[in-house]
Structure 1
């Protein structure tokens, strides 16, 4: 009998209708119906792409069992269940579908480049229009007054978190971000030392990284102030944060737009540098210290001992 292992990279998003209904009815499932539910939970992407006849072979159950499963979780039949299952992954495959459409369209390399740049310009302008002066002031104050800051992001957001952390360090704010290879344990190793006088800045955009949400929940329970950087009001970071800065980060080929997010990050660093006491002195001290390593007089040049 097949055994299906959990596949976190392809797991059904918890917020989807199918995932919620399975969770509600799972205790009532037995035998073959539960076995089919386990297949859906473990390999939802595969099930979404299979016909009912292919899916039942994978779970070693009958077509009647697959239909009973669909009825048990509130669908009129297997076809309606599968359509809803596919909908749960639509956002995941939007970039793939967009790339396929763009590749099929005629256009020069310059036209593609120009369209991408114009999307980023529009994102930055939309982000600027959406900024609320009072929220922005409070956000900058939260950073400037924090004893220490942790900027949280995984995958692509980890690079953005690193740039924000580097910039804030240069204003005199002690700042860390996830270390390479550290993962959630590495983040926890830092956050357990944080408290109400510190600050967590999580960065997450659709699709939201589960680890970012988990660690942000931990920070909230620990009483650590939270300033979120995200995209929509229904982002899972919003209810966890004390303040939220929103970025319009649409990109038709590879969402989200890192350009718009980075623009806000650089603007935040500039605002904190203006407000943080001692920021000019920190920058001057670093420049004096680093100067010998930031100039070159020839191929054999090396800093003086």
Structure 2
């Protein structure tokens, strides 16, 4: 984590030692342990308050399984695990609380437009902290090597998906922008031929579209890789994705802000463009093709 930048509490929790342990168990543990780890990663705040019987009910396992889970990840008891969860969350929430206090203090002095700009600044900083160049390069390689790249965004995310698809088209073998005037029905039609060797890039932000989750599950069932671009580690798309890029979308008025998403899209595309000499040649060829349509000034 880079000092001096604000990171969303959900991201900070996942990056913590306990968060990493839970992420490993969710990926590699037994079915019951994966269920518990997933529940805690999605509901860390709730996990600090639940009795063991309530936790067992929420995870649909026995209390004995909850106790065994706590011991297996290094705690003497369920109570000790719950205390560690609370301590980790407290540490993760500190920068968020500072941000909220700062915005609250400045609220009366800032106009609505200035406040919106402040949210944009914070979201951009959080996105920069949350996405390493290593992850960007990994996603870029998967996309550039795909047989077909499917790009999906429903509702307010559709315009962002269109932007990503437009940027990718010159550098990928085949790009399909799934969203269209027909909505989910058109998207489903595009997805019929998805399979092994393909990549689905799904953009999912509040308000989250249930159709996006269903299409991502369909892609996984048919052996395609799924890349999610979403706002926080607790977002529903995370569990369905092979790789995740985070774009914080917090806003005081709008359901979600797209500023950081545009930045992440551009960072991903640039990472892909400079990943090989072949892409440099493709960029030059694109310039030649569209050159006669541009206005010379």
Structure-2 residue corresponding to 1:241: 241
> Aligned in 2, Cα 1:112/1:218: closer, same or farther, shift over 3 Å?
same
1:226 match: 226
- Root-mean-square deviation (CA, aligned residues, Å) is 2.3
Count the aligned residue pairs.
193
Deviation at 1:173, TM superposition (A): 4.5
Contact 2:149 2:172 survives alignment (8 Å): no
Q: 1:123 & 1:176 partners in 2: Cα distance? A: 28
1:265–1:173: structure 2 CA closer, same or farther, 3 Å change rule? Answer: farther
Instruction: Please list the CA deviations of residues 247-289 of structure 1 after superposition, one character each: whole Å capped at 9, or x if unmatched.
Output: 1111111131111111100111100101145212222222212
Which structure 2 residue ranges, 5 or more long, are not aligned? 1-41, 43-103
Task: Kindly report structure 1 stretches of 4+ aligned residues shifted beyond 4 Å.
Answer: 105-108
**Where does residue 176 of structure 2 map in the other structure?**
176
Which SS does the other structure have where 1:245 is aligned?
A: strand
Deviation at 1:150, TM superposition (A): 0.8
2: distance between equivalents of 1:289 and 1:133? 31
**SS across alignment from 1:186:** helix
| Partner Cα separation in structure 2 for residue 289 and residue 132 of structure 1 | 34
1:195-234 equivalences under 5 Å are 195-234=195-234
Please give the alpha-carbon distance, in whole angstroms, between the structure 1 residues aligned to 2:133 and 2:291.
37
**Residue aligning to 2:167:** 167
Residue 290 of structure 1 corresponds to which residue in structure 2? 290
TM-score normalised to the size of structure 2?
0.60
| Closer/same/farther in 2, CA of residues 280 and 137 from structure 1, 3 Å limit | closer
What is the distance in 1 between the residues matched to 2:143 and 2:252? 32
Q: Can you list the C-alpha shifts for 1:119-138, whole angstroms capped at 9, x where unaligned?
A: 10111111111224443332
Does the 8 A contact of 1:229 with 1:245 survive in 2?
A: yes
Q: Given the two structures, how large is their TM-score scaled by the length of structure 1? A: 0.58
Whose Rg is larger? 1
- Which residue in the other structure is 2:86 paired with? none
Task: Answer whether contact 1:145 1:276 (CA < 8 A) is retained.
Answer: no
Instruction: Say which SS state the counterpart of residue 193 (structure 1) adopts.
Output: coil
Distance 2:266 2:278 in 1: 19
Query: Which structure 1 residue ranges, 5 or more long, are not aligned?
Result: 1-14, 16-101, 298-305
Match runs of 1:111-150 below 5 Å = 111-150=111-150
User: How has the CA–CA distance of structure 1 residues 267 and 134 changed in structure 2, closer, same or farther, with 3 Å as cutoff?
Assistant: closer
Distance 1:154 1:171, change over 3 A: same
Task: State the Cα distance separating 1:179 from its structure 2 match.
Answer: 4.3
| Deviation (angstroms), 1:296 | 6.3
Task: Quote the Cα distance in structure 2 between the aligned partners of 1:295 and 1:223.
Answer: 45
Go from structure 1 to structure 2 and tell me whether the alpha carbon gap of 1:186 and 1:276 turns closer, same or farther (over 3 Å shift): farther
